Amino acid sequence: MINIENTNYDIDKNIAMMIHTNEQEKAMSAGAHFWDMFRGTDLRRTETTVMVWVIQISCGVWFGGNVLYFLEQAGFDKEEAFNFNLGHSAIGLFGTICAWWALQRVGRRALYLWGLIMMFLILILVGFLGIPEPSNGIAIGSGVLQMIYTFVYCITVGPVCYLLVTELPSTRLRIKTVALSRNVYNVLSIAANYLNNPILNPSAWNLRGKGGFVWAPFTLLSIIWTFFRLPETMGRSAGEVDILFETGTNARKWQNVKVDEFRNDDLKSQE
């Protein structure tokens, strides 16, 4: 049994913080209607929530994580390809486990930004490997690069998204904002599947590794958006996030701005 008296956790202070944050949310936006997501400060919060989920698609994961196709091009039989794919899944699992550590020590914005940069570079490399005539060495090299891509995705954009979509919306609009964001993701997933199939299909576009050049521009746009628009929410309470959004603080400055939500409700914009 845990002895609360021997910990630094103050129940009264934390309950007071919850009450204060809820009252602050009420003052900022009375009610919780669907259209409130597109008004005032909540419009920016809706944008960022939707985009962090959209980036799970625009980073090229439909292409970057498709190792089996390149193994088949290398002449692997079904059993070898299956075993290799198990290793690919294990790498994804290992990346997710590593994310448990990374999320405690590295900011959400940093993981998103650097993860996207690494995935962009891998897509470009795979694209260049697709230019020469196909060979076993090129196919295996492309497959290995895509396994690295999967590891990077599973330690950065993959898990971080699920933290951000709960931290960015206001508490009173969170359910509606998350539902909207997920539905946008679902619709774009259908489009991504339609795009990726002809890229890899030998009887269609048959771009092979050059498909990396198709997805790389979308990843580059994701990097640009993340750099300018994605704020750092790590270590911030819901009340602090409210104030930083309400004051229009520049996304790149969030991690350096000190906020006392009990005193800085009238904090001036940090733009």
108 inside domain? yes
Residue 205: per-residue pLDDT: 83
Determine the structural domain holding residue 260 and report its residue range.
235-271
Q: Indicate if 116 and 131 belong to the same structural domain.
A: yes
Q: Indicate if 143 and 242 belong to the same structural domain.
A: no
Q: What is the CATH number of the domain that holds 126?
A: 1.20.1250.20
Residue 80: per-residue pLDDT: 73
SS3 category, 132: coil
Q: Which residue has the tokens 């951000």?
A: 164
163 inside domain? yes
Residue 27: per-residue pLDDT: 60
15 inside domain? no
Q: Count Cβ atoms within 10 A of the Cβ of residue 237 and give its class: 0-12 exposed, 13-18 middle, 19 or more buried.
A: middle
Q: pLDDT of the chain along its 271 residues, tens only?
A: 445 454 566 777 778 777 777 666 666 555 567 888 888 888 999 999 999 999 999 999 988 777 777 677 656 777 777 777 788 889 999 999 999 999 988 999 999 999 999 999 999 999 998 888 877 788 788 888 888 999 999 999 999 999 999 999 988 888 889 999 999 999 999 999 888 888 877 777 878 788 899 999 999 999 999 999 999 999 888 888 888 998 888 999 888 888 776 665 445 444 4
Residue 268: per-residue pLDDT: 46
32 inside domain? no
Distances 49 to 163, 176, 184, 190 between C-alpha atoms, Å:
10, 11, 11, 20
Q: Indicate if 95 and 164 belong to the same structural domain.
A: yes
Residue of 61, 21, 17, 48 whose CA lies nearest to 192: 61
Q: Indicate if 116 and 145 belong to the same structural domain.
A: yes
31 inside domain? no
Q: Indicate if 213 and 175 belong to the same structural domain.
A: yes
Q: Indicate if 164 and 256 belong to the same structural domain.
A: no
Q: Indicate if 217 and 239 belong to the same structural domain.
A: no
For the record, the structure tokens of 121 come out as: 């570079």
Residue 113: per-residue pLDDT: 96
This prediction's pTM:
0.82
Q: Indicate if 129 and 259 belong to the same structural domain.
A: no
253 inside domain? yes
Q: Indicate if 50 and 133 belong to the same structural domain.
A: yes
How many independent structural domains does the chain possess?
Answer: 2
Q: Indicate if 146 and 240 belong to the same structural domain.
A: no
Residue 198: per-residue pLDDT: 86
Q: How many CB atoms lie within 10 A of CB 124?
A: 16
Provide CB contacts within 8 A for 200, sequence distance 6+: 63, 66, 69, 206, 207, 208, 211
118 inside domain? yes
Q: Indicate if 243 and 135 belong to the same structural domain.
A: no
Residue 26: per-residue pLDDT: 62
Distance CA 92, CA 174 (A): 29
13 inside domain? no
Q: Indicate if 218 and 245 belong to the same structural domain.
A: no
Provide CB contacts within 8 A for 110, sequence distance 6+: 232
